[in-house]
């Protein structure tokens, strides 16, 4: 398999490497992955994370195993095992479905490898298209609020919502970004801040509970977020705290955009009620751990509610920025998204 290199995932010299996003930004540690058990742990612990990226990481692992003359039956089980890691982001299911088709072909080793390579390279191109479409929605001097991390660390390209922000900054040179730290795992404070510094995009880090007063003060011009799954009616699931922003944006009449590749659209999921929300370990809320070690602030036995995602109804969304274009609420509520697949 050819070398494939992205910000947090690479296949080089026949070795699959994953950047440990849990240790960023203060430690850059790459883990080698040679088996399903390791990739499952990397995905479940969010060392590799981001809807598109977990699909690509799983795909490259399957391709690596195919290259090691792994039997069809073992590859099929590996696909099932990896698909079962995180239930909300549909990109993982999309990639695994493509690999299942490849596995049924006569020359399945070559087909699986070619499919994984194609998915990786397609993602790079999809990011560019989303960024180009979305950047046209940004005006000079805009203050943009974003949530979680949707950049190069979460994709094979420049990202989804953060890719729009990056392209807009290239175009205008004078935008500013409010970065939600994104409790409990702090993808915004750790990863988005890290990426915006690398790209030299001016930003200000805020706690999630500060977004409301910034909007009330007129300091937020637009909101761009990513998605883990878009339902057929335009509702979508994204990192928990996204729904808060959508309700606040609606109240304050601030444009609210979701940015995702068309492969995040799941026409088999009718609406948000049908999206399975991943529930995560309470330890993530009782304290925090990372490159600095760990800190525990809540009582050891505190009951915790820790959904990794929440859902936002289409009626709160101004626009859907996909690689195929930008769609407004009237188009989406009229069923336009379903006609794209």
Catalytic residue positions, numbered: 228
The angle formed by the CA atoms of residues 145, 233 and 236, to the nearest 5 degrees, is 35
The region, left, alpha or beta by phi > 0 then psi within -120 to 50, assigned to residue 321 is beta
Inter-residue contact 231 to 272 (CB < 8 Å)? yes
Query: Does 211 participate in binding ligand LNRAV4D5 (rule CB under 6 A)?
Result: no
Return the residues of window 131-170 that contact ligand LNRAV4D5 according to CB under 6 A: 148, 150, 154-155, 160
Which of 234, 239, 248, 319 is in the footprint of ligand LNRAV4D5 by CB under 6 A?
A: 239
Query: Does 228 participate in binding ligand LNRAV4D5 (rule CB under 6 A)?
Result: yes
Shortest distance, position 48 Cβ to ligand LNRAV4D5, whole Å: 9
Q: 3-class DSSP state for residue 154? A: helix
Query: Does 85 participate in binding ligand LNRAV4D5 (rule CB under 6 A)?
Result: no
Alpha-carbon distances of 320 from 34, 85, 213, 227, 328, rounded to whole Å = 37, 27, 25, 10, 7
Nearer to ligand LNRAV4D5, 49 or 133 (CB): 49
Return the residues of window 39-78 that contact ligand LNRAV4D5 according to CB under 6 A: 49-52
Q: 3-class secondary structure for 2-31?
A: CCEECCCEEEECCEEEEECCCCCCCCCCEE
Nearer to ligand LNRAV4D5, 52 or 234 (CB): 52
Straight-line distance from the first to the last Cα atom of the chain, in angstroms, rounded to the nearest whole number? 30
Which residue do the tokens 């175009």 mark? 171
The angle formed by the CA atoms of residues 295, 240 and 143, to the nearest 5 degrees, is 100
- Tell me which DSSP letter residue 180 carries: E
Shortest distance, position 40 Cβ to ligand LNRAV4D5, whole Å: 15
Nearer to ligand LNRAV4D5, 160 or 169 (CB): 160
Nearer to ligand LNRAV4D5, 49 or 94 (CB): 49
Which of 59, 85, 146, 238 is in the footprint of ligand LNRAV4D5 by CB under 6 A?
A: 238
- Residues in touch with ligand LNRAV4D5 (CB under 6 A): 49-52, 148, 150, 154-155, 160, 187, 226, 228, 238-239, 308
């Amino acid at each position: 398999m050819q070398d494939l290199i992205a910000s947090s995932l690479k296949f080089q010299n026949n070795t699959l490497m994953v950047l440990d996003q849990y240790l960023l930004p203060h430690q850059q540690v790459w883990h080698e992955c040679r088996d399903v058990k390791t990739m499952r742990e990397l995905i479940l612990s969010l060392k590799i994370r981001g809807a598109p990226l977990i699909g690509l990481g799983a795909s490259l692992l399957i391709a690596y195993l195919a290259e090691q003359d792994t039997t069809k039956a073992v590859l099929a089980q590996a696909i099932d095992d990896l698909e079962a890691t995180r239930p909300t982001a549909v990109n993982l299911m999309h990639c695994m479905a493509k690999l299942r088709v490849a596995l049924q072909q006569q020359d399945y080793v070559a087909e699986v490898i070619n499919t994984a390579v194609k998915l990786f390279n397609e993602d790079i191109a999809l990011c560019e298209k989303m960024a180009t479409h979305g950047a046209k929605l940004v005006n000079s001097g805009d203050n943009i609020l974003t949530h979680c991390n949707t950049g190069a660390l979460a994709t094979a390209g420049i990202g989804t919502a953060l890719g729009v922000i990056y392209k807009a900054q290239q175009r205008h040179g004078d935008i500013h970004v409010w970065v939600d730290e994104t409790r409990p795992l702090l993808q915004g404070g750790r990863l988005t801040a890290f990426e915006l510094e690398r790209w030299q995009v001016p930003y200000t880090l805020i706690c999630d509970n500060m977004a409301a007063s910034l909007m009330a003060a007129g300091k937020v011009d637009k909101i761009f977020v990513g998605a883990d799954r878009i339902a057929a009616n335009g509702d979508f699931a994204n990192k928990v705290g996204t729904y808060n922003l959508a309700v606040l944006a609606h109240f304050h009449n601030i444009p609210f955009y979701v940015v995702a590749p068309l492969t995040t659209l799941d026409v088999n999921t009718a609406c948000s009620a049908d999206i399975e929300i991943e529930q995560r370990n309470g330890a993530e809320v009782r304290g925090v751990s990372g490159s600095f070690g760990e800190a525990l602030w809540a009582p050891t036995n505190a009951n915790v509610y820790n959904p990794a995602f929440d859902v936002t109804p289409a009626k709160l969304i101004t626009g859907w920025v996909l690689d195929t274009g930008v769609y407004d609420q009237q188009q989406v509520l009229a069923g336009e998204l379903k006609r794209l697949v």
